[in-house]
């Protein structure tokens, strides 16, 4: 997946440990790659399907393997989070503050022989995602299943940011500052021209 500055981020499954997915970065168009580092994509045992939203945020749908179960998960992060712990153009690791990541389960394969999580997705004009996946579940054979996923299914905050740094107030007025942040983000989102496609959008 390509970022605005030309960096390529590679998201990788990992079936040995089964603990997390991994990522690597290339600054030369894919000719060389950095040493992989862990992502926050838990139990990534199936093909990550990655792309950018019109807001610039990054979405990865993938198979979550935990024990004998498989599920379809969705990992969303900012470009800054994507670069976290990876080297910049000069080889220095990029650090960051609070994690800018959100996660949602989209489906769970209940079959005694589960085989779910090879997915793909596109963003629709209204901002929602249309996700497709194959899954065994309650059918005699694997089926293709589709999902419409809105932002409100994984985050109650307007487009363009995954916030963590909420204002706090020991006197109990933090909710006022948080609502102000939300209103300003909503105004920013409403002022965007969402008809322009992100070049690296799926």
pLDDT in tens, 103-113: 999 999 999 99
What is the pLDDT at residue 170?
65
pLDDT at 38 over 90: yes
| Measured distance CA(172)–CA(11) in Å, rounded | 41
Tokens of 181: 């942040």
| Measured distance CA(14)–CA(47) in Å, rounded | 9
- Which residues lie closer than 8 Å to 89 by C-beta, 6 or more apart? 27
Mean pLDDT, rounded, for 148-164: 92
The predicted-structure confidence for 175-192, as pLDDT tens digits, reads as follows 788 888 899 999 999 999
What is the pLDDT at residue 91?
84
- Which residues lie closer than 8 Å to 179 by C-beta, 6 or more apart? none
pLDDT at 144 over 90: yes
What is the SS3 string spanning 19-59?
A: CEEEEEEECCCCCCCCCCEEEEEECECCCCEEEECCCCCEE
Mean pLDDT, rounded, for 95-99: 76
What is the pLDDT at residue 15?
84
Give how far Cα 129 sits from Cα of 41, 132, 144, 186, Å. 19, 10, 16, 19
Q: Is the pTM of this model over 0.75?
A: yes
């Amino acid at each position: 997946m390509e970022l605005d500055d030309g960096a390529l981020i590679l998201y990788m499954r990992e079936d040995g440990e089964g603990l997390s997915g991994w990522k690597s970065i290339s600054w030369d168009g894919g000719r060389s790659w950095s040493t992989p580092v862990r992502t926050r994509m838990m139990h990534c045992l199936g093909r990550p399907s990655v792309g950018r939203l019109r807001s610039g945020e990054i979405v990865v749908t993938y198979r979550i393997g935990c024990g004998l179960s498989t599920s379809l998960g969705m990992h969303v992060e900012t470009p800054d989070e994507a670069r976290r712990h990876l080297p910049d153009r000069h080889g220095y690791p990029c650090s960051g503050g609070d994690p800018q990541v959100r996660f949602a389960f989209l489906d769970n394969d209940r079959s005694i022989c589960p085989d779910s999580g090879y997915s793909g997705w596109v963003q629709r004009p209204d901002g929602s995602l249309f996700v497709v996946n194959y899954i065994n579940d309650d059918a005699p054979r694997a089926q293709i299943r589709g999902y419409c996923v809105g932002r409100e299914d994984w985050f109650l905050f307007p487009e363009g940011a995954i916030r963590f740094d909420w204002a706090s107030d020991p006197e109990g007025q933090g909710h006022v500052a948080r609502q102000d942040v939300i209103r300003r983000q909503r105004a920013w989102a409403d002022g965007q021209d969402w008809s322009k496609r992100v070049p690296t959008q799926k």
